[in-house]
Amino acid sequence: MVVIGQGVLKRVRDEMFEHMQKLPIRYFDRNTNGSIMSLYTNDTDTLRQMINQSIPQVLMSALTIVVTFIAMLVLSPILTVLAVVMIRVMTAVARMVGGNSGKYFVRQQLDLASITGFVEERMTGQRVVKVFNHERISEEEFDQLNESLFVSSSKAHTFASIMGPVIGNMGNLQFVLTAVLGGALSVLGIGNITLGVMASYLQFTKSFTQPFMQIAQQFNSIIMALAGAERIFNMMDEEPEVDEGYVTLVNAKKDAQGNLTECKERTGLWAWKHPHQADGTVTYTELKGDVRFYDMTFGYTEDHMVLHDLTLYAKPGQKLAFVGSTGAGKTTITNLINRFYDVQDGKIRYDDININKIKKADLRRSLGIVLQDTHLFTGTIMENIRYGKLDATDEEVYKAAELAHADGFIRMLPKGYETRLSGDGEELSQGQRQLLAIARAAIADPPVLILDEATSSIDTRTESIVQKGMDNLMKGRTVFVIAHRLSTIRNSDAIMVLEHGRIIERGTHDELLSQKGTYYQLYTGNLELS
């Protein structure tokens, strides 16, 4: 039973993680990391206890009840009617108590998730907590969450603990009523109840109520597991990310006539593969990196639009930069290119293909991205860079690191590329982590590159080094850049100044300066980005 139980839990965790990988970004926006982690820890642990302890006990008790009931029925059908009545009463009591305790067990699991999320946030941001001397405030906030857990847990277990005594007293009542009824029937000569039958029946009555007591003892564990299972099933019921795309990205090569053909090996030439269901044929078009937005409107919620009637285009190999204050919609544009979200109105075309027709995995494979918040995984530096291309050779990793100007500091580490990182690379400086993220994007060799404030948290000297590497990386690619440091985007082919989700200025660096508008004020320091 233990092996079966562990196998069930393994399958549950596997299916949970597999399903979670298919969920849209909106799900992770709505739920904290701690709440999600609680599904894999607190909620699955309640299932473990139920499977390993409660279910075997309940099955054994149920078997005892069935066997004993048959024996009682054989001895005296009349007295067994009383047992049936008592079973109905016990069931009604269990449903009443279970309904009350169940809602508090659900509340308990939610409170546990809140505490897990709170602790995860405070541990991750411990430096910020200490810098602002918020230790006491954090303690008070934790105490409030802990108090809520105490209340829900106390109520849940109080209601559940009533079950045992109630079932026990009802068992005693059944024993007394059976003795009285059996004695009366024996005196009246009804039902062929002899003294021997009564003695045996009373013994079976005790055996009959004992399993109910054992089930009642497992009641807490069962209800808690059902509450945990409800949270797990709610997550599993979340709709996966919708992907109706059918155009895929493939490696390609050109024959003597210039026709594209698909090939397995990486050639440096990418093509879009268009299947035609009507006749079963396939056509290929070269990936050029032409990205265009047409009258695009988008909001994270229906009542709050972030972008309004946005129209822009990036020709193959162009570098487009977005400038604007926080909340202007810069990062939202890159989220839409990745199809983390879909537009409410308008459309985006990639090489003249509606991006909704491109499979999301293939769309994202054509995009390289360096996020503002650099995330590194537990593992070696070599493994973190190779994350951009899992089958990359060591030489390709070295080349990508050199391109990002990360090779120098990596080789100065005691174990070089085999240096093991943990805790999001806390052993490295912010600038070094940023360089690794750039190397990770470089090794993927994407046709389109998205730099989301990639150098906003790097010191000036490191920025200069990174900029040289990025200039090499950006050659021949379509690039979208978001940066607070305007010095990093002066060589852009076009700069878009965003305000409240609208493009208020567009042009090259020199053109915008000559207009003496918002960009001019930002560049000369008369206006600051918030």
Calculate Rg over the CA atoms of the chain: 33
Asked whether the CA dihedral 365, 367, 368, 374 is positive or negative, the reply is: negative
More reliable by pLDDT, 206 or 459: 206
Per-residue pLDDT, averaged over 205-231, amounts to: 80
Looking at the DSSP assignment, which residues form a beta bridge with residue 276? 281
* pLDDT number for residue 247: 94
Band (185; pLDDT cuts 50, 70, 90): confident
The pLDDT confidence band at residue 469, using thresholds 50, 70 and 90, is low
What mean pLDDT do residues 15-36 have?
A: 87
User: d(Cα 146, Cα 157) in Å, to the nearest integer?
Assistant: 16
The answer, yes or no, to whether residue 456 has pLDDT greater than 60, is no
Mean pLDDT lowest among 42-56, 97-111, 299-313, 495-509: 97-111
Residue 293, strand partner residues: 312, 348
Mean pLDDT of 168-192: 76
The band of 377, judged by pLDDT with boundaries at 50, 70 and 90, is: confident
Mean pLDDT in residue range 255-266: 84
Alpha carbon distance 35, 21 (integer Å): 16
The domains of the chain are located at 1-237, 248-286, 291-524
The CATH superfamily of 291-524 is P-loop containing nucleotide triphosphate hydrolases (3.40.50.300)
Strands 291-298 and 353-354: unpaired
| pLDDT value, residue 395 | 94
Which DSSP helix (H) or strand (E) runs through 109? helix 77-124
CATH topology match: 1-237 vs 291-524: no
Better-scored residue on pLDDT, 501 or 163: 501
Average pLDDT over residues 247-269: 86
Q: Would you state the pLDDT for residue 515? A: 92
- For 148-152, 404-408, 426-430, which range has the lowest pLDDT when averaged over its residues? 426-430
Per-residue model confidence (pLDDT) at position 264: 84
The model's pLDDT over 124-134, given as tens digits with 9 standing for 90+, comes to: 777 667 766 77
Two structure tokens written together for 186: 């024996």
Look at residue 92 in the predicted model and tell me its pLDDT. 80
- pLDDT tens for 59-97 read 888 898 888 888 888 888 888 888 888 878 877 877 776
State the architecture of 1-237 in CATH terms: Up-down Bundle (1.20)
C-beta separation of 306 from 299 below 8 A: yes
The region of weakest confidence among 110-114, 237-241, 318-322, 501-505 is: 110-114
Position 328 scores a pLDDT of 84
**47, 44, 30, 45: which is closest to 117 by C-alpha?**
30
Query: What does the pLDDT read at residue 315?
Result: 92
Task: Give the mean model confidence (pLDDT) for residues 439-448.
Answer: 90
Task: Determine the pLDDT at residue 453.
Answer: 62
Is beta strand 379-380 parallel, antiparallel or unpaired with respect to 420-421?
A: antiparallel
Average pLDDT over residues 510-517: 92
What confidence category does residue 106 fall into, taking pLDDT thresholds of 50, 70 and 90?
confident
Is pLDDT larger for residue 285 or for residue 215? 285
Mean pLDDT of the chain: 84
Q: Where is pLDDT greater, at 122 or 519?
A: 519
pLDDT at 318: 92
